[in-house]
Amino acid sequence: MPALSVQDLHVRIKDAQILRGVSWSVEHGQTLGIVGESGSGKSMTVLAATGLVGPPLAQVTGRAVLGAPHSSGRSSGGPDGPASATLPDGGGQDLLTLSPAGRRAVRGRRIGFVFQDPATSLNPILDVERQLTEGLEEHLGMTRRAARGRALELLEMVGIPDPERRLRAYPHELSGGMRQRVMIAIALSCDPDVLIADEATTALDVTIQAQIIDAVRDLQERLGTAVVWISHDLGVVGGLADEVVVLYGGQVVEQADVLTLFAQRSHPYTEGLFASRPRLGSAGGHLTTIPGSPPDPRSLPAGCVFYDRCTLRSDPRCATHRPELVPLAPGHLVRSFCATPVRDAPLDPEETA
């Protein structure tokens, strides 16, 4: 079964419907890219699925099933743990029904997180060694000495030079790229089944960004980790992902493998995202934009969620009916009455680097 499967996820905060029936899955050793504008529900999807957002702030329904570990002999929880939330077929754990202790046992142990800004994710008053060894001692029961040895291995694994000296450093003594590498090392410290990277390279320059992407790809190949990569940068997603989910207005509007999405995208919103990409040597230097603004989750349109901004709306149902997510081709799902394949040249790895 998939490493992580989100099924019919709904999130409501007061009178705002943030997510509406989001579903996706990621396999061991593969990368799922989630793209969309700010406010489309990208981060909320993984925060709600992993229990980082929930009652009393938000009402969350659906399922988020964490599959069986990809390594034999791995424990799947601690006290009060996940055993009570194991699915009837024994195939995985529903994260939304775990106890608080069960979620703590899973997060960090089987699911690792890398967030956008390492400066706010790392503790400024703890050195790198303590921040790397804390999870190892808590989740794996390592001694301080064994955890320190593992911390050195992790820093070497993510390409940090002179790891012995870096262990004694504090976050403010490291560059932005090194801080993000430390975050990746922390996320991977317990050999998780799933790595969730939320805009992990957005604040970095392109050189460091490429190095971190290479490090994640290399680690994934070695460890078989499933990666959920959230980004608004289609170039990064094109170079990393196997499958891509496009979110808009809290819904999946298109989903396909990366080659299909880049070469035969079909939803008007997806095409708007692609048309908005900056390109080297483009005439005039002007960026194409999608007219209008994302919908207010407190007053979503009665019909298609993209209706107010769509330049291709032509079907009378667009204004009154909400389209279903239907297969346009095997493995290619689209939510639109006006889906029209846009055929481009095959995905160019050089362009997405």
Handedness of CA 143, 149, 152, 157 (dihedral sign): negative
3-state secondary structure of 182: helix
pLDDT of residue 75: 38
Asked if the structure places residue 128 within a domain, the reply is: no
DSSP letter at 323? P
pLDDT tens for each residue of 246-279 = 999 999 999 999 999 999 899 999 999 998 887 7
pLDDT in tens, the chain (353 residues): 899 999 999 999 999 999 999 999 999 999 999 999 988 999 999 999 999 998 889 999 999 999 887 653 343 333 333 333 444 444 578 999 998 888 888 888 899 998 877 778 899 999 999 999 999 998 989 999 999 999 999 998 888 889 999 999 999 999 888 888 899 889 988 888 999 999 887 767 777 778 778 877 877 888 888 999 999 888 889 888 999 999 999 999 999 999 999 998 999 999 999 988 877 665 556 778 888 888 999 998 889 999 889 888 888 899 899 999 999 889 999 999 888 766 664 555 444 44
Asked if the structure places residue 279 within a domain, the reply is: yes
Q: What are the Cα distances from residue 144, in Å, to 134, 138, 171, 214?
A: 9, 11, 21, 30
Q: What is the CA radius of gyration of the chain?
A: 21
Asked if the structure places residue 42 within a domain, the reply is: no
| Phi, psi of 119, deg, nearest 5 | -65, -30
> How far is the C-alpha of 256 from the C-alpha of 332, rounded, in Å?
4
DSSP, residue by residue, 4-32? EEEEEEEEEETTEEEEEEEEEEE-TT-EE
Asked if the structure places residue 163 within a domain, the reply is: no
Asked if the structure places residue 292 within a domain, the reply is: yes
Please give the tally of structural domains in the chain: 1
3-state secondary structure of 2: coil
| Helix 206-223 × helix 176-188 angle, to 10° | 10
Asked if the structure places residue 314 within a domain, the reply is: yes
Residues 6+ apart with CB under 8 A from 304: 310, 313, 318, 319, 321, 322, 323, 335, 336, 337
pLDDT tens for each residue of 281-316 = 655 567 788 888 889 999 988 899 998 898 888 888
Query: Which residues span the domain enclosing 318?
Result: 264-352
Q: What are the Cα distances from residue 86, in Å, to 77, 190, 324?
A: 11, 21, 31
Asked if the structure places residue 141 within a domain, the reply is: no
Nearest to 34 by CA among 208, 201, 177, 198: 198
Element spanning 143, H or E: none
Residues 6+ apart with CB under 8 A from 112: 186, 187, 188, 189, 190, 192, 194, 195, 196
Instruction: Decide if 306 contacts 294 (C-beta within 8 A).
Output: no
pLDDT of residue 250: 93
* Tokens linked to 51: 């229990």
Give CA torsion, residues 49, 62, 297, 289, to 10 deg. 60
Asked if the structure places residue 211 within a domain, the reply is: no
Nearest to 202 by CA among 119, 112, 131: 119
